[in-house]
Amino acid sequence: MRVVAGSAGGRRLHAPPGHALRPTSERVREAVFSSLESMGAVDGSLVVDLFAGTGALGIEALSRGASRAVFVDADPLAIASVRSNLESTGLVDDAVVVQSDVVQFLRRGTERFDLAFADPPYEFQAWDDLLRLLDARIAVLESDRAPDATAGWRTTRQKRYGDTVVTLVAQVRPDD
């Protein structure tokens, strides 16, 4: 697995051996970022990578011009993988790595993000909580099925890639 494009394009990303992570494939990342870049959603953005795993999505965003990324995962092996991948891509200075349950992290409500990635384990059921707590302009949701629409968000794009459904949603705000 490699960073697809940008300043760290072509650099390898590693997952902990034998660990049950499901990193987003290069093909899916390329398609997602093509959509995001056409929307002007990446360059200069503040990003959060929820259920970060290897950090592939947040690292791809940093490589393509995001200003800063926050990586959140509860698993200590995933956190170690994110840190290692940030170091190997030279993007550590633009990143914050947080070991926390994602919903607990969002409950703290510390920041408003421009762009959020949420790629939880497929058995994740708390989409309503996540979307209710998430303060982001755009979110990219990955699952094995399309998450139900949640109040305050509208689906802008959705596509299936094999077993993965990628849904782009935009937060509906009163000032929009």
Measure the CA–CA gap between 137 and 139, rounded to whole angstroms. Answer: 7
What architecture (CATH level 2) is domain 26-171?
3-Layer(aba) Sandwich (3.40)
pLDDT of 77-134, one tens digit each? 999 999 999 999 999 999 999 999 999 999 998 789 999 999 998 888 889 999 999 9
Angle at 17 between CA 11 and CA 23, to 5 degrees: 55
Residue 15's pLDDT band, with cuts at 50, 70 and 90, is: confident
Inform me whether the pLDDT recorded for 25 exceeds 80: no
Inform me whether the pLDDT recorded for 176 exceeds 70: no
Q: Which helix (H) or strand (E) element contains residue 27?
A: helix 26-38
Q: At which residue do the structure tokens 């034998």 appear? A: 18
Helix residue ranges, H only, 18-99: 26-38, 56-63, 76-89
Measure the CA–CA gap between 118 and 51, rounded to whole angstroms. Answer: 6
